[in-house]
Amino acid sequence: EKGTYPHYMLKEIDEQPAVMRKIIQAYQNEAGELSIDADILEAINASDRLYIIAAGTSYHAGLVGKEYFEKITKKPVEVHISSEFGYNMPILSEKPLFVFISQSGETADSRQVLVKIKEMGHKALTVTNVQGSTLSREADFTLLLHAGPEIAVASTKAYVAQIAVLAVAATVAAKHAGHDVEFDLIKELGIVANAVQAMVDSKEAIEAIAKDFLATTRNAFFIGRNVDFFVSLEGALKLKEISYIQAEGFAGGELKHGTIALIEDGTPVFALVTQKPVALNIRGNVKEVVARGAKPCIISMEGMEEDGDTLVIPNVHSLLTPLVSVIPLQLISYYAALHRDCDVDKPRNLAKSVTVE
């Protein structure tokens, strides 16, 4: 039930701090340490490469997940769009483990890949919000998102849950494999939960941004580097889905290789600045678009903000920034859609789970 909320999407955005806390709790053992099933740990560590398979927002979460398994677990990862992978399979490694990410667990494009790789004799782990869903039943292992039912077509809390659960799995697998993990994920996710709360409490400021940048625009760009690029893809998808504004997410350095031709006077460009090693580069990319007339909305992280930035998100661990930086983008999309009189929870042409290939 959406209770006093005008839309499920807003309710689900607001639930995200609680979802973060729920995940910390659900994946803690009696000793207060993060843990996942031993079978899953063994499958991850016995594999020589993870193949993350997903669609839409879940694919975007998978891109962030790759960072975790490569940086924390030292495990090579490929991330693929399910509708492409099944019909054009790359050369697989010797001991692949397939990781299906799906909020609903019912996405047909992902299921056809699962069927194929099972026929080939490979093992699969499904990361899903729905216990007993098709992808969960047909895989060897399941990790649950614990996000609670997600009703709005635009996925919000499932995305942050997917990223958090992948961070937990990567960290626990790293310890299991004997790698040093330099941070305390329980503590860091606690800091994230508070930062997410601060963002959902900033609705007025974010609504004002949506009004200022998106009330009448035809198109919009989202740019970032490193994980900020992946969040840019998600920000653009969210905006397209519910406001029908044409939006594209780009790697900051890639825009100038063609797409910058679309920048006109007043074109909104949302830039994320949460990654210190590339902060100067992305700010350089912002200058390039501003020189062509773009209207920049800079969302930076505390500690690397500059005068003139539009919004500053609280400081969190550099690998976990997507969990926080996505929140203002979700809210910007929500308010843009609202002010354009769009049907926020049930956008045109879309269904909550896509059960056809």
Which residues of the chain form contacts with ligand M6R (CB under 6 A)? 55-58, 102-104, 107, 110, 153-155, 237, 241, 353-354
**Residue 121 Cβ vs ligand M6R, minimum distance, rounded to whole Å:** 24
Question: Residue 150 or residue 188: which is nearer to ligand M6R going by CB?
Answer: 150
**Residue 132 Cβ vs ligand M6R, minimum distance, rounded to whole Å:** 14
Question: Residue 102 or residue 232: which is nearer to ligand M6R going by CB?
Answer: 102
Q: How many CB atoms lie within 10 A of CB 119?
A: 8
Residue nearest to ligand M6R according to CB distances in the complex: 56
Residues 6+ apart with CB under 8 A from 65: 52, 77, 79, 99, 101, 162, 163, 166, 170
**Residue 127 Cβ vs ligand M6R, minimum distance, rounded to whole Å:** 9
Residue with tokens 């049907």: 343
DSSP state, residue 53: E
**Residue 103 Cβ vs ligand M6R, minimum distance, rounded to whole Å:** 4
In one-letter notation, the amino acid at residue 18 is: A
Q: How many CB atoms lie within 10 A of CB 344?
A: 24
**Residue 110 Cβ vs ligand M6R, minimum distance, rounded to whole Å:** 6
Question: Residue 56 or residue 86: which is nearer to ligand M6R going by CB?
Answer: 56
Report CA Rg, the chain.
20
**Structure-token pair, residue 342:** 């769009």
Question: Residue 121 or residue 132: which is nearer to ligand M6R going by CB?
Answer: 132
- What is the C-alpha to C-alpha distance for residues 206 and 284, in angstroms, rounded to an integer? 24
DSSP state, residue 28: B
Question: Residue 165 or residue 260: which is nearer to ligand M6R going by CB?
Answer: 165
